[in-house]
A and B are shown apart, each in its own frame.
Chain A
Amino acid sequence: MTIEIVRLAHGGGGRLQAKLLDEVILPALEARALGAPDAAVLDHPGGRLALTTDSFVVRPLFFPGGDIGRLAVHGTVNDLAMAGAHPLWLTLGLILEEGLAVADLQHILASVRATAQECGVQVVAGDTKVVEAGRGDGVYINTSGVGVVPDGVQIAPGAIRPGDVLLASGDLGRHGVAILAAREGLGLDPPIPSDSTSVAGAVAALLAAGVPVHALRDPTRGGAVAALQELADASGCRLVLDDAAIPVRDDVRGACEILGLDPLHSACEGRFLAAVPEHAAAQALTILRGRAEAAGTVAIGRAEPGEPAVIRRLATGVERRMILPAGEQLPRIC
């Protein structure tokens, strides 16, 4: 009998758990080392390792432009890329809620597999737990990732210097608004698609061309302002954005106007911010614009000496400070 609904016993470690793994999860993933009982044993490729972990509790599970499975791969791959690493392996921890339709689970797993293939990473270890109905939101996913940092790459938020140019790899704030619109049934037509994508290839292209990247940051929760504030604090630089240059799609701006949100407080899941020295900015722009996932790259501002802060310079010449959102503006978006 095929499994149609996840039940509590599917997480109990017994025959039913084995059935869920053998019939649903492993076939869907075709994962290389998942057969090993406790730990994947992997060949060390040499060089420095980057390690990251991230949990995904997004609601709804399926949204315009992606789903929780796709997001779980992109999120972790992008975190590795922000360290300048070449992503290699992922783990996949699933926390399933009793009552979840197996068709939904299969859809999510297919998405994990396809996205991992696109990103050139392998899912090598996993874990599955089931919680009682009402104790979860269908599926929570944790992914840890391992990547290799090429020799000579030194990327750190503190490496930003006055004069550095700040680049954004595309329009900002879209994922958070896409999720909010989907969750709250805002009925935007056409719906705003999430920007969920891997930026690892774009980062690798920059590094391969020898662009001396000082810092990278993906503006996920808290949006671009939170990412920039971290960079400002770590580097001691004043980061000044040119308001007119900040890329935000019209539909995202419109939705933010209606909801009273700032797009720069809203998460991206397929964008990154880069600080590069001025002499390398034109080369970086050319490389990134040549890649589909970063075709919308623009220079949005500059690092200046001064107190660490994020400043928006308006077209009227007035400078306004930007601060972090207080907290739960867009709950659970990734």
Chain B
Amino acid sequence: MKHLDEYRDPALILRQVEAIRAACTRRWTLMEVCGGQTHAILRHGLDELLEGCVELIHGPGCPVCVTPAETLDQAVLLTRRPEVTLCTFGDMLRVPGALGDLNAARAAGGDVRVIYSPLDAVALACEHPECEVVLLAVGFETTAPAAAIAVLQAEALGLGNLSLLVSHSLVPPAMEALLADPDNRIQGFLAAGHVCTVEGATAYQAIAERFRIPIVVTGFEPVDLLAGIHACVEQQERGEARVENRYDRAARDDGNAAAREAVTRVFEPVEREWRGMGRLPASGLGLRPEYARFDAVARFEIAAPAATGDGPCIAGEVLRGLRRPTDCPAFGRECTPDTPLGAPMVSSEGACAAYLHYREG
């Protein structure tokens, strides 16, 4: 298939791996931030091809994994209101909170709809004025623009029956928190290419300078990933630490100004709880006061129970790249995609699910 096969060409992949091996005078530890990249790495076996020269550790860039249990509980509580139709991306259905997951809420009679775009929620609200449509707005810089546009459309249409349960998160504050942890082993970052299509590559400049670490904007296909890894390794070998864009076929240095403008109009940075990482300052997005009427939490006055811990699950350490999924005693035993103890086993972008899906033993 055009625009896909050339980025999965096995002969090219093997040549790239050889070039990376030749460039390495020692073993380097890189973190890919995005869960989509984690899955691509595991699916295409790049971890195995690079064994011995590059260790890839997996970052917190799985929106489902870092969504706090409290948000899920609020969503479950919303589904118990007969007038509410909750719209969510399919990935969120099976993430356990203190009150169970949204699948169980749906089985208990809640109206939970899987959508493919936040604009589907706007359409649903238009078609069903008798329903209160609530959009569970999760995700990083990549999904926030669509949520913002949903709000702007609802405003333009004068829709009074759409609101948002917002739990958007921002990647750079999480990267800073990871680097500030004295236990971190990260020697270079592969930055998520799609985040940069919105935010631009220069968004990471301050982090690269402050922490003296190479950050390479990287895509999602094996050839893209290997190009990003190669560039990161070359910087490390030369002792450089700068932002480099190796996904320039999609991500421009200045990103997508129109998308950012929509986000800025509707949302503002807020402190946010990251599941497994704690509260990080200015790491999330909340509705601006002028759009507060779209806030589902206020509209329905829902109070979720205080979040409890994740039991034996080591999701927090996995999300920070401190431990691997296979280091967890519950991995593949008590914890499987059918009986997940933590979100990284549920989500299609979660590191634990990726290991279970693609690696033997």
A→B interface (CB under 8 Å):
184, 244, 250, 253-254, 257, 259-260, 309, 311, 314-316, 318-323, 326-329
Contacts and interface: CB of A to CB of B under 8 A. Distances in A.
Interface in B1-37: 1, 4, 10, 13-14
A264 B4 CA distance: 18
A237 to B, nearest CB: 15
B338 interface: yes
B4 A316 contact: no
Contacts of A321: 357-360
Given A184-B116, A253-B1, A326-B337, A316 B10 contact: yes
28 contacts: A184-B116, A244-B10, A253-B1, A254-B1, A257-B4, A259-B116, A260-B348, A314-B10, A314-B44, A316-B13, A316-B44, A316-B45, A316-B49, A318-B48, A319-B45, A319-B360, A320-B43, A320-B44, A320-B45, A320-B359, A321-B357, A321-B360, A322-B357, A322-B358, A326-B338, A328-B93, A328-B103, A329-B90
B94 interface: yes
A306 to B, nearest CB: 10
Closest 5 CB pairs of A and B: A318-B45, A315-B10, A320-B358, A326-B337, A316-B10
Contacts of B42: 320
B356 interface: yes
Given A250-B1, A253-B1, A257-B4, 17 more contacts: A253-B4, A254-B1, A314-B10, A314-B45, A316-B14, A318-B44, A318-B45, A318-B48, A320-B44, A320-B45, A320-B358, A321-B358, A321-B359, A322-B358, A326-B337, A327-B338, A329-B90
Contacts of B356: 323
Contacts, number: 50
A184 B120 CA distance: 10
A328 B48 CA distance: 30
Contacts of B90: 329
Contacts of A326: 94, 337-338
Which of A184, A311, A326: most chain B CB closer than 10 A? Answer: A326
Contacts of B49: 316, 318
Nearest to A315: B10
Contacts of B358: 320-322
Nearest to B9: A315
A175 B359 CA distance: 28
A326 B44 CA distance: 20
A266 to B, nearest CB: 14
Chain B interface main SS type:
helix
Contacts of B337: 323, 326
Nearest to A251: B1
A315 B5 CA distance: 12
A301 to B, nearest CB: 16
Interface string B314-353: 0000000000000000000000011000000000100000
A259 B91 CA distance: 12
A309 B10 contact: no
Interface string B41-55: 011110011000000
Contacts of A329: 90
Nearest to B356: A323
B184 to A, nearest CB: 28
Contacts of A318: 44-45, 48-49
A85 B338 CA distance: 35
A315 B43 CA distance: 12
A57 to B, nearest CB: 17
A323 to B, nearest CB: 6
Nearest to B17: A316
Nearest to A325: B337
Contacts of A323: 337, 356-357
Nearest to B103: A328
Nearest to A329: B90
A318 B103 CA distance: 35
A321 B338 CA distance: 17
A250 B93 CA distance: 29
Contacts of B48: 318
Contacts of A320: 42-45, 358-359
B94 A309 contact: no
Contacts of A311: 360
B358 to A, nearest CB: 4
Contacts of A322: 357-358
A309 B44 contact: no
Contacts of B103: 328
B272 to A, nearest CB: 25
A186 to B, nearest CB: 8
Contacts of A259: 116
Nearest to B44: A314
A39 to B, nearest CB: 37
A250 B1 CA distance: 6
Contacts of B93: 328
